[in-house]
Structure 1
């Protein structure tokens, strides 16, 4: 999966839903299995607009991947849910 591919873009119909959830104080996060796209590990790995999410969790940055339960526990702890 490459940044900009259909799997890595957000459907604009979700924007008002995400805004509404966050306005109600509901935490919104993304957990994705992804990978570094450059050897130097400096390029952005996620094209999602971060303003719609409280947190974006990327497996390449966390050193864990789904379906390992550890990554889900980590996300829940970070979001305090």
Structure 2
């Protein structure tokens, strides 16, 4: 099992998603799957982010994404950001 780490920005993003009415119970099983190195459901569209070694994005719901870094050598998953495409990339 990989250790889950979170960034300060991720914690702020979670609070923003909560304030927007997102169901945070939707992200929990995905984080558990990542920690246990299980394959994510197909709807998550789990993909590496081009040009950012070890960084991935996956879909939580309609226009709700999770950005994370997987470091199997260190045994960690770092949850970096969560939010809409606009929140994350603009």
TM-score norm. by structure 1 comes to: 0.33
Larger strand percent:
2
TM-score with structure 2 setting the length: 0.30
Structure with bigger helix share is: 1
Q: Which has the larger radius of gyration?
A: 1
